Amino acid sequence: MGVMRIGHISVKIMDMEAAINHYEKVLGMKTVHTDEAGNKYLKCWDEWDKYSLILQETDQAGLNHVAYKVEKESDLDELQQRIEAYGISTEMLPEGTMPFTGRLLKFNLPSGHEMRLFATKECVGTDVGSINPDPWPDDIRGSGVHWLDHCLLMCEMDPEKGVNKVEESTKFVMDVLEFKLAEQVLVGPEGNIQAATWLFRTSTPHDIAFVAGPRMGLHHFAFFLNGWSDVLKSADVMAKNKVKIDVPPTRHGITRGETIYFFDPSGNRNETFAGLGYLAQPDRPVVTWTEDQLWRGIFFHSGEESGSFTTAYT
Amino acid sequence: MFGLSAHQVAIPETGESFACKDKEALLAAMVKLGRKGIPVGCLNGGCGVCKVRVLRGEVQPTGPISRAHVSAEEEATRVTLACRATPTSDVALEILGKMKKSFLAQCGKPKAN
């Protein structure tokens, strides 16, 4: 019961034509719907629900909301009570508020980011179908990403003012949404300041992550690839399309993922992320990265800060 | 230089200067030359770290910039993002973008005195 996985992410972009070219040609998604307001809905080939990405053209970049799918409609009612009891106000958006989607439970994380939960979205099947399927479809474009995998939200952190929205948001999703903690970064003189967390509901190490920053924002959203050779091909696709790569192919110590960070044409950071990492289970010991090994955790090969990881986000 | 004409881009506060061709974004030119001075982020107008004020000379936009980082009022006072502006003359820039290191970026490094 409860939250199953990330369902979709709605992001702001500044040039729809450029964004569609990026998400279709570079990532390999398909546009499945345009609503009356002109927002575009896209889907990856290995996803079975109708859409996982919504693009809204406006005058800035960044997150509108991130949505997670719960197992049953009744979960929405139960979670609404629990979230309200925790002291966070909610709104139940009626079916049809978003196309092809049932009711949505809308609220803000302690960090301020808008999260929505839903149980129902039109199931259209993967591009290989469910009867004697091929392992992959013939019309894959670009990186051919399988599915929207996770997002990382930057949360306000200022220890001198006693502000730590990483810790607050982590506690909320654990206590109320029953996310489990896979890995964390602990810093400070006492080694007790939770500066970053990776949490899961699936059996992979993270479905959501929170990292400390000077202001709240969207750090990145990631799409799944099978393995290292797919990551290399994805980097080739980016070079062919002159995509701005933030961090070229490498491995994360945290989650063990193989990765590329890059930017969409409006500056939203994307990641193509490969590997299932390890079997994440509620009883698996939490992995802790200490302050002196923090960057080894983030970029395992170099052990150093790379690109604009902590400075640039939308 | 052959081909497109180039303009000089100066950053008075650091003494840095570099060449930027017509139609090339200020920030892209700096990165390509391996120069430093303007903070580098997404290069696509979204993150705001390369915010500059044009002190002298003229620039043209090369694409949209995020209103979350540059307001219309600021834009009217010659503030823009270096990733989305190309010079049409020699220019001088003031760096406004904060390389404000996040708490995480400071972790594990010696503290400044």
* pLDDT at position B113: 40
* From B65, B69, B102, residue closest to A213, measured CB to CB: B102
Residue B20 has pLDDT above 90, yes or no: yes
Place B33 in a pLDDT band, splitting at 50, 70 and 90: confident
* From B41, B42, B107, residue closest to A294, measured CB to CB: B107
Mean pLDDT for the stretch of residues B17-29: 92
Of A47, A206, A219, A258, the catalytic one is A206
Q: What is the pLDDT of residues A214-256, one digit of tens each?
A: 899 999 999 999 999 999 999 999 999 999 999 999 999 999 9
Query: What DSSP character marks residue A266?
Result: T
Of A22, A65, A146, A220, the catalytic one is A220
* pLDDT at position B111: 52
Mind telling me how many Å the CA of B15 is from chain A's nearest CA? 24
d(CA A294, CA A288): 10
Mutate to test the interface with B, among A13, A14, A161 (most CBs of B within 10 A): A14
ipTM, two decimals, is: 0.88
Residue B35 has pLDDT above 90, yes or no: no
Q: What is the pLDDT of residues A198-223, one digit of tens each?
A: 999 999 999 999 999 989 999 999 99
Known catalytic residue: A206?
yes
Nearest residue to B55 via CA among B5, B6, B11: B11
* pLDDT at position A131: 98
Asked if A126 and A46 touch (Cβ cutoff 8 Å), the reply is yes
Q: Please list the rounded mean pLDDT of every run of 10 residues in chain A (314 residues).
A: 95 98 98 98 98 98 98 98 98 97 98 98 98 97 98 94 96 98 95 96 97 94 97 98 96 97 98 96 97 94 88 92
- Residues 76-105 of chain A whose Cβ lies under 8 A from any Cβ of chain B: none
* From A15, A157, A267, residue closest to B42, measured CB to CB: A267
Phi first, then psi: what are they for B63, rounded to 5°? 175, 175
Place B32 in a pLDDT band, splitting at 50, 70 and 90: confident
Mutate to test the interface with B, among A155, A266, A294 (most CBs of B within 10 A): A266
Known catalytic residue: A150?
yes
- Residues 241-280 of chain A whose Cβ lies under 8 A from any Cβ of chain B: 244, 246, 263-269
Place B22 in a pLDDT band, splitting at 50, 70 and 90: confident
* From A159, A266, A295, residue closest to B44, measured CB to CB: A266
- Is A60 in contact with B69 (Cβ distance < 8 A)? yes
A272 three-class SS: strand
- Is B103 in contact with A295 (Cβ distance < 8 A)? no
Known catalytic residue: A122?
no
Known catalytic residue: A252?
yes
- Listed in sequence order, the DSSP H helices in chain A are 16-21, 73-86, 165-175, 228-240, 294-298
Known catalytic residue: A261?
yes
How many CB atoms are located within 10 Å of the residue B104 CB?
A: 25
- Is B63 in contact with A195 (Cβ distance < 8 A)? no
Q: What is the pLDDT of residues B54-65, one digit of tens each?
A: 999 999 999 999
Write down the pTM of the prediction. Answer: 0.94
Place B37 in a pLDDT band, splitting at 50, 70 and 90: confident
Asked if A297 and A254 touch (Cβ cutoff 8 Å), the reply is yes
- CB contacts of A313 in chain B (<8 Å) are 47
* pLDDT at position B36: 82
- Is A15 in contact with B63 (Cβ distance < 8 A)? yes
Written as six digits, the tokens of A271 are 């990641």
* pLDDT at position B1: 47
* pLDDT at position B101: 59
A304 touches chain B (CB under 8 A): no
d(CA B26, CA B81): 9
- CB contacts of A246 in chain B (<8 Å) are 42
Average pLDDT, chain B: 87
* pLDDT at position B100: 55
Segment (H or E) for A217: strand A217-225
* pLDDT at position B97: 80
CA distances from A121 to A5, A54, A97, A204 (A): 13, 14, 12, 23
The string over B48-62, giving b where at least 16 C-beta atoms fall within 10 Å of a residue's C-beta and e elsewhere, is: bbbbbebeebebeeb
Residue B103 has pLDDT above 70, yes or no: no
Residue B4 has pLDDT above 80, yes or no: no
Asked if A303 and A253 touch (Cβ cutoff 8 Å), the reply is no
